[in-house]
Amino acid sequence: MIRTLEDLRTRLGEIRGADRSSSGPRVALVSTLGALHDGHIDLIREARAQAEVVVVSTFVNPLRFRTADDTARYPRSPEADEIVLRDLGVDVVFAPSASEFLPAGIATTRVSAGDVGLRYEGRVRPFYFDGVLTVEAKLFHLVRPDVAVYGERDLQRIFLVRKMVRDLDFAVSVATVPTVRTDDGLPVSSRVALLEPADRRAAAALPRALEAAASNADLGVDACIAAAQSSLMGEARITLEYLSVVDPETFLPVDDGHHGRAFALIAATVGGHRFIDNAEISLR
């Protein structure tokens, strides 16, 4: 369990060894906000499959949140997390304070996510992806991982991290793991457990909307979106924020003539909690 940048550099130097002529062990990074759940466990297992050394960060990134109060409200379970990480055989856990990792606070130099970072999730939270990429870039710089592992629930984040890796020439590959889902189809997250029973039943309509989109994809993008919207009608507990179909290559909305692979994205609020989800579809 490492809490300072200096100790992280020292420990990773020990792991890699003093012999710079040797490539050293392969290192995988899993960046989290802590409050670990089954989705995180799958990421760590994939990291272990891809590398000899697994580094997990559990930093609650304040640059992702609108206010200091929002940051403070994010769920934390450090004792439970430590047990999970130890049981999984994680080699290094990096758990710095905000003042240690971002000494300049919100005034820190930031990476810009660009136009795509202001769409979908970025339209709701225009600061969000700049904050995400800034911390990911700093972790890449400190850890120097060979591979970084992400869950496919956060598809826009994956697209933007991959773009940053290309644009800034980070020597890291990006691996993904399929979304872990509950029995009723919701992506596993810390928010699911907070839902009241009636809200939980309503939230299950979100993955069903994506299924409806996929089932109608052969009729074109308009039919795809209409089917998803129709499946949500009557769900008064759901406030839809966006429903879009995007091109995997650009992450921009597809046009009417798009054929082939695409992603349907959805975000909604249920019982005061935000949920995002996505599904790969095939437009014909």
Q: Is the pTM of this model over 0.85?
A: yes
Looking at residue 243, its pLDDT comes to 97
- Can 40 be counted among the known catalytic residues? yes
Q: Catalytic pick from 40, 141, 258, 259?
A: 40
Residue 22's pLDDT is 58
Of 210, 193, 154, nearest in space to 177 by CA: 154
Order of strands across the sheet with 92-94? Answer: 92-94, 53-58, 27-32, 147-151, 173-177
Domain with CATH 3.30.1300.10 in the chain: 192-278
Instruction: Provide the strand spans (E) within 136-198.
Output: 147-151, 173-177
Burial pattern 14-24, b for ≥16 Cβ within 10 A else e, equals eebeeeeeeeb
Report residues of the chain scoring pLDDT below 70.
Answer: 18-22
**What is the Cα–Cα distance from 213 to 265, expressed in whole angstroms?**
10
Exposed, middle or buried: residue 233 (CB in 10 Å: 0-12, 13-18, 19+)? exposed
Fold of 5-177: Rossmann fold (3.40.50)
192-278 CATH pick, 2.40.30.130, 3.30.1300.10, 3.40.190.10, 3.30.2350.10: 3.30.1300.10
- E strands in the chain: 27-32, 53-58, 92-94, 147-151, 173-177, 238-246, 260-270, 273-283
Q: Known binding site: residues?
A: 151-154, 180, 188-191
What pLDDT was estimated at residue 283?
A: 93
Alpha carbons 70 and 268: distance in angstroms, whole number: 18
Question: Range(s) for CATH 3.40.50.620 in the chain?
Answer: 5-177
| Confidence at residue 182, expressed as pLDDT on a 0 to 100 scale | 94
- The confidence score (pLDDT) of residue 75 equals 81
Q: Which residues are annotated as a binding site for ATP?
A: 151-154, 180, 188-191
Strands 92-94 and 53-58: parallel
User: Given the DSSP bridges, would you call strands 273-283 and 173-177 parallel, antiparallel or unpaired?
Assistant: unpaired
CA triplet 79, 83, 84: central angle to 5 degrees? 115
Residue 119 DSSP symbol = S
